[in-house]
Amino acid sequence: MLPISKVDDSERSRIPVVEKEAYAQSIQRFGVDNFGKIGGRCLMNQLGIGRAEEAWLHEVKHFLRAWSEGVGTVSSDWKAQTAHRRIYAFAEFSFASTFLPGKSLLEGSLFQLNGLHADPEFTFRPWLCAVQLPISKWVDRSLCAEFQLLGEVCELLHRSGIDLTCPELRYSVHGDLNLYLSEPSCVSCVGAMKQFQTLLPGANLFVECGSVIEPLTARRQQLKTRGSPRNEGIPSSASLSSD
């Protein structure tokens, strides 16, 4: 039995775990929306977010291929027919609590497409915080597939008896969450992953993504072709810092 009766108001913590305004300002200071596959991986390494294992990725890709071929044949649902070309997140997870030794707390898999959720009940979750990014300011990052999915996992844990406003209960959770993304995460979503780790420090997060956007590589190529005769011979690091 989870110690729900022990939770009193003085022990509850603020949700989301970040102070929204200061957090949004510090994210803005990155000056980019997305670090791409390679830069994103460097950032995740710094945050202690591991890579999903090859064997798991192989299974996920097999599942996603079968799924996209399946929905392509259903003619009545035009949204589903375009789904295989859309941005998505897939997760598999297994959690337990030290308060329930030997028992599973929550296990399952979730698939989430980018954009509005069909069920309004699932569109807003208070657990994590999405922020506006400096370049594509008009994009609502709370609609990102991985943001919605991580929020959903938090909600499922909350409903399983782990009151997420209670640090004692949150800290009792341990387990793994494997996440596959069709594209590299935006900075808001990498931040949401960090918030997820802060909420549930005993849970391991493993992430891998496809490789559609690689802005760092693209930017370097652009700088090469943009060089004028005047700054020829200046090392590329100097071109970057004067930009």
Q: Is 75 exposed, middle or buried (0-12, 13-18, 19+ CB in 10 A)?
A: exposed
- Nearer Cβ to Zn ion, position 52 or 149? 149
Query: Minimum distance from CB of 145 to Zn ion (Å)?
Result: 8
Report, in Å, the least distance between residue 77 CB and Zn ion: 25
Q: For Zn ion, which stretch binds (CB under 5 A), given 83-91, 136-144, 151-159, 206-214?
A: 136-144
Q: How many residues bind Zn ion (CB under 5 A)?
A: 3
- Whole-number Å distance between alpha carbons of 15 and 12: 9
Cβ proximity of 88 and 182 under 8 Å: yes
Q: Is 153 in the site for Zn ion (CB under 5 A)?
A: no
Q: CA 24, 27, 31: angle at the middle one, nearest 5?
A: 130
Q: Which string of x and - marks every residue 168-187 that binds Zn ion (by CB under 5 A)?
A: ------------------x-
Beta-strand pair 88-97/203-209: unpaired
Give the integer Cα–Cα distance in Å for 43 and 215.
14
CB 226, min distance to Zn ion, A? 29
Distance CA 185, CA 35 (A): 8
Query: What Å distances lie between residue 185 and 39, 155, 205, CA to CA?
Result: 10, 21, 14
> Is residue 129 a contact residue for Zn ion (CB under 5 A)?
no
The least distance separating Zn ion from the CB of residue 45, rounded to whole angstroms, comes to 19
The residue (of 154 and 186) whose beta carbon lies closer to Zn ion is 186
144 lines the binding site for Zn ion (CB under 5 A): yes
Site residues for Zn ion per CB under 5 A: 144, 186, 189
